Structure 1
Amino acid sequence: MLDNLQTRLPAIAISSRDIDRLRHLAEAAMEKYPATAEFLAREIDRAEIIPADRSARNIVTMQSEVTFIDDISGQKRTVILVYPEDADVDAGKISILTPIGAALIGLSAGQSIEFQTPSGGWRSLTVIAVGSSWSAPPTRK
């Protein structure tokens, strides 16, 4: 079944800027959140690593604002993907150490991913749009 699932997974890319911290997070979370940590580790292992100096526009990276649809419920949501210490569900900031966060990392607009939740259910998400949650500081004149 895993081989079948692997062939259906979309190609993803993760910035070299994020990869080491994400690997460390997945490893550190194995005891507390084993299912999500394993899922994140698998996503990291299968991702294309893109150089930090290459544009990651339209790819879900850390600090990205991403709009997606839950393909099962039809619910549309916009969130910012953050590290665990910055998570704030009420502010729309979801942790990479949640099943949705781990599923979204590396996807591009138009891609869908199907994944199993820690409770054993299945979810499918489709990314509609990816943007940056931060803006550059104003230019001085």
Structure 2
Amino acid sequence: MIPGNTVDANALSSGSRPRIVISATEFQRLSRLLEVQPDSPVLDYLSEELSRAQVVPDDQCDPDVVRMGSQVTYVDETTGETREVTLVWPHEAEIATRRVSVLTPIGAALIGLKPGQSIDWTTPGGDPRTLRVTGVRYEPGEAGSA
């Protein structure tokens, strides 16, 4: 099962937060998405991530940055499990095909990271975890729309 399909008030932590990069277009779309969604801990966390992100012009966003439509391989350093997911907009999410919404704890944690970067967070069950991105594949046009 892919983590991150539920969350409670203690589901995310500020833990270790590496520098993240987000394209200008995705920053705008994500900001608009946050405006129309009901409040939740995941939205608060994503809002914090956006507020600390380095926003770059779309053509200057490295292809190895986790962004919408990216296929991301990561290791849960606590369990040693390796997983691959595709980061998508909420209406495109489908757990069975490992399409994870940016509005899930795992999606909000991964956005903007690069291979080699790690982030600490807490699962919906209250377990502390460290996720390390090991690979990112991004193909323009796979990002869908908000």
Q: Which residue of 2 aligns with 1:92?
A: 98
Counterpart of 2:52? 46
Question: 5+ residue gaps in structure 1?
Answer: 137-141
Aligned-residue offset at 1:92: 1.3
The 8 Å contact of residues 27 and 37 in structure 1, kept in 2 or not, is answered as no
Greater helix fraction, Structure 1 or Structure 2: 1
The residue number in structure 2 matching 1:139 is none
Counting matched residue pairs gives 130
Gaps of 5+ in 2: 1-12
* TM-score in terms of structure 1 length: 0.83
Whichever residue aligns with residue 72 of structure 1, its letter is T
Q: Does 1:105 align with 2:130?
A: no
1:116 aligned to 2:134?
A: no
Q: Note the aligned Cα RMSD (angstroms).
A: 2.1
- In structure 2, what residue type is equivalent to 1:67? T
Cα drift, residue 54 of structure 1: 1.2
Superposition misfits of 4+ residues, deviation over 6 angstroms: none
How do residues 26-41 of structure 1 correspond to structure 2 at under 5 angstroms? 26-31=34-39, 34-41=40-47
CA distance in 1, matches of 2:58, 2:140: 17
Give the 3-state SS of the residue equivalent to 2:119 in structure 1.
strand
